[in-house]
Amino acid sequence: MTAVAVPFSAAETVAALRATFNSGETRSLNFRLARLQDLAQLLTDHEAELLQALAEDLHKPALEAYASEIYFLRDQIKLTCKQLKRWMQPEKTRISAVQWPAQAYRQAEPLGVVLIIGPWNYPLQLLLLPLVGAIAAGNCAVLKPSELAPATSSLLKRLLSDRFDPNYIRVLEGDATVSQALLAEPFDHIFFTGGTAIGRKVMAAAAEHLTPVTLELGGKSPCIVDADIDLAVAARRIAWGKFFNAGQTCIAPDYLLVQRAVAEPLIQALIDNIHQFYGEDPQQSPDYARIVSDRHWQRLNGLLADGTIRHGGQVDGSDRYIAPTLITDVTCRDPILQEEIFGPILPILIYDQLEEAIAQIRAQPKPLALYLFSRDRHVQSRVLAQTSAGSVCLNDTILQVGVPDLPFGGVGPSGMGAYHGKASFDTFSHYKSVLKRPFWLDLALRYPPYGDKINLFRKL
């Protein structure tokens, strides 16, 4: 990788953290629990500042910011502290007659020094949630927050630097050159959350050192709407999941596949819910977020050229505002169905038979999430059996990510690896296999000369 000019030495940073790790200080249960409690206390002590920073970066409503970022982190820290002692215990496994007498077990050990690169859409949660797993597993960590959320990035650097020894947890701000410099170093694990294109670059850089990676990416998460639904509830839940954080959620419904019989009633119900949520002019609503940057706003604005706008479509570049928008009459060749939208624009496709919807989904790369609204258990079973996705939610949207002990991750182009709950601990741990035998029995069967011992061995 070509050297880049950055205001720090990546090699010295990693060396300093590795010295801390090699001291053994981070390995004890008490140390890990204390640091997790420090992180929880940071969230409590600075809640107002964190909410303000999220409002500055994304115009996030306080409730959305608290629920999806601060509360979510607290919940995961609480679960981790409660279960950590059990997670750290050796896991016994069966032995065969050949090894008897012996004990066999798997022992979780920390990986070492890990790199966590966070995104901008949930700049607090998606940077610190992997850190919960890294701390719980006994690692040291370098954190690289997104420069596209500068208020949150700056605040996290200050708060974490005040709370933690910088030779244990270090925050490095900056643009892509900082990430490139860090990726050139031999970390023990890299955890990246972001887009697929950058994920490929992270994986390529990690390959230089054979560094394992966790990639939390994205994709076009479909939402199938069957005719057998509670229309009012389905529309409300879809509108909420799509326009939460102005659609800038990796598992937001990216497009709808709606059974023809309920297409028009659903569209009207979605419009009604948009009005109920955000009023006649969502730009004036205190509950509607903004697009993170001018570049992302321009990209989304370009997607509005596809299809027929059934609702919304209003834009204001000076405010990075795009209204909650519903679009019909799009084709698979249109850019809006070719790239992940990651914004408040919802294309709506119509199908007649379920196999058409399933075929549409299977023709696309495997998504991070898939949604199905249907009372019909046969329909549910068919969709679960005939599609692949990182996660599935039936009759609701995005709530699956909040189940504390349910692993979260992608499949194929939508990511690799998983975290949340024990999966976070596992991601940042190596499970070392151990066989322990006594001296008191040492059969001659396995030692030369072998003679005709093979027949006895076959019987064993």
Contact 210, 189 (CB under 8 A): no
Q: What angle do CA 242, 398, 410 make, to 5 degrees?
A: 110
Q: Residue 456 has what pLDDT?
A: 83
Q: Tell me whether strands 169-171 and 140-144 are parallel, antiparallel or unpaired.
A: parallel
Query: Could you say which of 64, 69, 185, 216 is catalytic?
Result: 216
Query: Could you say which of 64, 69, 185, 250 is catalytic?
Result: 250
In one-letter notation, the amino acid at residue 206 is A
Domains along the chain with CATH numbers:
10-217+412-434 (3.40.605.10), 222-409 (3.40.309.10)
C-alpha torsion 123→296→244→229, nearest 10: -130
Q: Tell me whether strands 222-225 and 345-351 are parallel, antiparallel or unpaired.
A: unpaired
Q: Residue 2 has what pLDDT?
A: 43
Mean pLDDT, range 256-280, rounded to an integer: 98
Query: Mind spelling out the 3-state secondary structure of 96-157?
Result: CCCCCCCEEEEEEEECCEEEEECCCCCCCHHHHHHHHHHHHCCCEEEEECCCCCHHHHHHHH
Segment holding 13, helix H or strand E: helix 10-22
Q: Is the pLDDT of residue 319 over 90?
A: yes
Q: Is the pLDDT of residue 136 over 70?
A: yes
Contact 370, 357 (CB under 8 A): no
Beta bridge partners, 373, equal 225
Peptide bond into 101 cis (omega under 30): yes
Query: Mind spelling out the 3-state secondary structure of 364-412?
Result: CCCCCEEEEECCCHHHHHHHHHHCCCCEEEECCCCHHHHCCCCCEECCH
Q: Would you call 216 a catalytic residue per the annotation? A: yes
Q: Is the pLDDT of residue 3 over 50?
A: no
Q: Would you call 339 a catalytic residue per the annotation? A: no
Average pLDDT, the chain: 95
Confidence of residue 306 (pLDDT cuts 50, 70, 90): confident
Mean pLDDT, range 16-44, rounded to an integer: 98
Mean pLDDT, range 408-423, rounded to an integer: 96
Sequence-separated (6 or more) residues with CB below 8 Å from residue 403: 420
